[in-house]
Structure 1
């Protein structure tokens, strides 16, 4: 019953977002910014059910609120959504997930290594927006990573990309010529993150050996 209830609730909200997602986004564009708390809740739902890609939501919020407030609302929505997804999977399906993660020897070794270095791994993967968020959410929830460690690492790691989405949205409206500089700056940032991630993986493997 618990698994069925969690799945039913998730699907029901997904259907609502599919039916009314465009209308809610239009409401934000047309003046919904007067209700920041409501908009933050909507951003959370948009992130939890990405009927519309979340970078577009972040861009709309950045254009509507400005780069600072837009970044905050975008970050709140994305962070809360990842925490809710973690809670859904952890509460409803972790017992199944642990059996699957430790069924195969290679996957079990990867999972044990991930659990030992969970905070840095989650933090670094969040810094790279091309890594699907849902994979990090579900894998973390099925593992034995604690809720608090996941919530802090995930939320902190989302800060740069959420600032990027909102800043790009605001820049498109105010000064499109600055997009090139933003792209170069964030591209440099991703290269540094990637190099740090490689060094972290090498350090982890050496310590394991």
Structure 2
């Protein structure tokens, strides 16, 4: 799958960047599909730094799109009362700095699906800028790990290809 994606990206030239951001956004909007193959492809095409930055932007765009759609959907079905459940009430009534910190920590825990964090933030009526900043900061370590791992695997593959 990655080879096909790389081929498509290389053929598109500069248009590969917006397409890549769109696909990364859609993958993150869905919320449970791992985006590691996109990050690895980005690292292969643009290198670890720029590929990582592109993946990070795509992750943020996807999370923001999900947050906005969840908020609109919750309002449309009239679930906009964060005091409905005790745990949600507790999160909603935390000071903003604590809400921000809790979202950053949740982003740092790799086994919590990003879609669950997006939905939780929407349900708790977390302010948009707080959500955006916590997502932007919280995504850095996971993207750095994905980009570093992808780069390491690519370098290992090159080493074995050259020596084999």
TM range (shorter): 0.7 to 0.9
CA distance in 2, matches of 1:114, 1:71: 32
Alignment of 1:136 with 2:113, yes or no, is no
Q: 1:62 aligns with which of 34, 43, 51?
A: 43
Unaligned runs of 5+ in 1: 1-21, 177-209
Structure with more helix by fraction: 1
The 5-angstrom pairing of residues 1-209 of structure 1 reads: 27-33=4-10, 34=13, 35-49=16-30, 52-94=33-75, 96-99=78-81, 101-105=82-86, 107-113=88-94, 117-175=98-156
CA distance in 2, matches of 1:160, 1:146: 23
- CA-to-aligned-CA distance 1:48-94 (integer Å, 9 cap, x gap): 23575212222222223211111011101111000000000112214
Stretches of 4+ moved more than 4 A in 1?
none
**CA pair 172-136 structure 1, distance change in 2 beyond 3 A:** same
Larger deviation, residues 139-148 vs 33-42:
33-42
Pairs aligned (count)? 152
CA RMSD of aligned residues (A): 2.4
CA distance in 2, matches of 1:52, 1:89: 17
User: How far did residue 110 of structure 1 move?
Assistant: 4.2
Check the 8 A contact 2:28/2:115 in 1, yes or no. no
Larger deviation, residues 44-53 vs 66-75:
44-53
